[in-house]
Amino acid sequence: MTKEELIKGLNEDLAAELGTVIRYNYQAGKSFGVIGIELREMFEEEIKDELGHASFLTDIIIDLGGEPTTTPKEFEKPDTIKEMLELNIKMELEDVENYKKHAEWAEQLDMIELKMKLEDMAADEAGHAREMRRIVKGL
């Protein structure tokens, strides 16, 4: 494991966070009806979390001597609320796995603060997925 590999992985995480901000904003605009109103509020709160993650990742990448990406991860644009939520669950769980992997890399490089922060971010993403699974069950 090298610092350069870690920076590359963190840039993948940053691209995912930037993509999530855009995806949630897009999906909020496509959400209608009673459930749509609740989703818009949820997405607005989630966007704040994702921006916080993106800000942290940007700082760490720069601190490690890397260049942070400004290109968001691409995403599908399903039409229904259920399909949007299912996509979000899938992508949040991918983020969890990536954060866990990159936390292990940080530990190998003896970067304990980064390891713990990435684990916290993985827990945040897992919580987002759980919330959305509960909403899908109610549809």
| Rounded average pLDDT over 14-35 | 95
39-43 mean pLDDT: 94
Burial class (CB in 10 A: 0-12, 13-18, 19+), 91: buried
Using pLDDT thresholds of 50, 70 and 90, give the confidence band for residue 11: very high
- Non-local (6+) Cβ contacts of 53 within 8 A are 13, 17, 121, 124
What's the rounded Cα separation, in Å, for the pair 102 and 9? 7
Please state, in angstroms and as integers, the Cα–Cα distance from residue 87 to each residue in 1, 80, 123, following that order.
Answer: 31, 11, 18
CATH number of 3-138: 1.20.1260.10
Above pLDDT 70, what percent of the chain?
100
Domain limits, the chain: 3-138
pLDDT at 35 over 90: no
d(Cα 90, Cα 132) in Å, to the nearest integer? 10
10 Å Cβ neighbour count for 67?
9
pTM higher than 0.85, yes or no?
Answer: yes
What's the pLDDT tens digit per position in 64-115? 999 999 999 999 999 999 999 999 999 999 999 999 999 999 999 999 999 9
pLDDT for the residue numbered 128: 95
